[in-house]
């Protein structure tokens, strides 16, 4: 902590401000999806919901997707694709997002 300047300490974001966060987003292919809801159980952020037998991301402001890829990896129908990565802004500098990889199972 002592390596941070006073100004840096004051401006460390708490990330409870949606302006400082850009959550991830995944897409669902409803032609493939069978509404099994496994993705909802697997999502560590609890950000997938089921509406009218279709999985969806929670609406903006409630979406807390960390772009982990668990839902895509576990979907038995290959119906999920990764769309927009999770980003922290303001304090952190983006170096390289790299290519999205499946998590190790």
Question: What residues line the site for ligand SF4 (CB under 6 A)?
Answer: 24, 26, 28, 33-39, 42-45, 47-48, 55, 65-71, 75-77, 79-80
Q: Using an 8 Å Cβ cutoff, are 82 and 39 in contact? A: no
Rg (CA), the chain: 16
Residue closer to ligand SF4 by CB (options 76, 90) is: 76
Residue closer to ligand SF4 by CB (options 76, 87) is: 76
Residue 68's nearest CA partner among 36, 20, 105, 31 is: 105
> What's the min distance (Å) between Cβ of 2 and ligand SF4?
34
> What's the min distance (Å) between Cβ of 63 and ligand SF4?
8
Residues linked to residue 89 through DSSP beta bridges, in sequence order: none
């Amino acid at each position: 902590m002592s390596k941070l300047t006073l100004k840096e300490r004051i401006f460390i974001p708490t990330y409870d401000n949606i302006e400082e966060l850009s959550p991830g987003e995944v897409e669902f292919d409803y032609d493939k999806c069978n509404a099994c809801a496994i993705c909802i159980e697997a999502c560590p952020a609890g950000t997938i919901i089921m509406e009218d037998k279709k999985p969806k991301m929670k609406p903006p402001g409630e979406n807390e997707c960390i772009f982990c890829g668990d839902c895509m990896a576990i979907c038995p129908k290959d119906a999920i694709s990764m769309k927009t990565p999770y980003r922290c802004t303001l304090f952190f500098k983006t170096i390289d997002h790299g290519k999205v990889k499946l998590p190790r199972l």
